[in-house]
Amino acid sequence: QTKLIAADKNIPVISTGDIFRKTAAESTELGKKVAGLINAGSFVPDEIVIEVVKNRLSKPDCANGFILDGFPRTLKQAEELEKWLASTGKKIDAAVVLDVEEKSIIQRLSSRKICKVCKKEYNTVTLPPKKDGICDLCGGELFQRADDTEDTVKHRLAVYKEQTRPLIEYYKKKNIIIEIDGNRTVTAISSEIKSVL
Ligand code: ZN
């Protein structure tokens, strides 16, 4: 969805996952700090996440706007972002929430299977292989990623509920929340987001 909206508005998608990988590869002080944390498998603290995002949003391609993906994930991050944007004369115009039933999220992620040989992705519910456990393309064996197991997905959802979901209330109070029914096709969802924006 972020890619579709970004193309429509001609502004960049700022994905924190991508930034972290890129920042870690830079030989700056911040880059070394981030690489150290990632390599140690540590949680990246709010202060560093915020610093990295500010740094990215200061680049010229963000001058006419941007879409944030994967950030903010905590109230502290949202507050710091708002403060910093205000100091540069900017603000967040909209926060989009895609409502998908928890049952459906668990089912979508935990039914993903990948071919060991050619890496093609299947979904045992929505896109099953012709022969159970075997890749249609190369006959390779299908496997499940460790972070796609039902238990891990449930843990990721628990972290989301505790740390990220409070942001919906936060942005509701600022009257910029857009709630979208996410149980539909990609095209239906993106045309609704575009029309509301
Ligand atoms: Zn295959």
10-residue mean pLDDT series, the chain (197 residues)? 91 87 85 80 79 92 94 94 95 95 86 91 89 96 85 84 94 96 90 92
Tokens (6 digits) for 191: 């045309």
CA distance 176 to 168: 10
CA distance 135 to 124: 12
Give 28 Cα–ligand 1 centroid separation in angstroms: 40
Give 158 Cα–ligand 1 centroid separation in angstroms: 33
Give 148 Cα–ligand 1 centroid separation in angstroms: 19
Give 105 Cα–ligand 1 centroid separation in angstroms: 25
Contacts for 12 with CB less than 8 Å, ≥ 6 apart:
6, 61, 62, 66, 67
**Beta strand 95-99 pairing with 121-123:** unpaired
Give 149 Cα–ligand 1 centroid separation in angstroms: 20
Give 147 Cα–ligand 1 centroid separation in angstroms: 20
Give 15 Cα–ligand 1 centroid separation in angstroms: 29
Give 127 Cα–ligand 1 centroid separation in angstroms: 14
Q: What is the largest CA-CA distance in the chain?
A: 58
Question: What is the model's pLDDT at position 41?
Answer: 62
Give 125 Cα–ligand 1 centroid separation in angstroms: 18
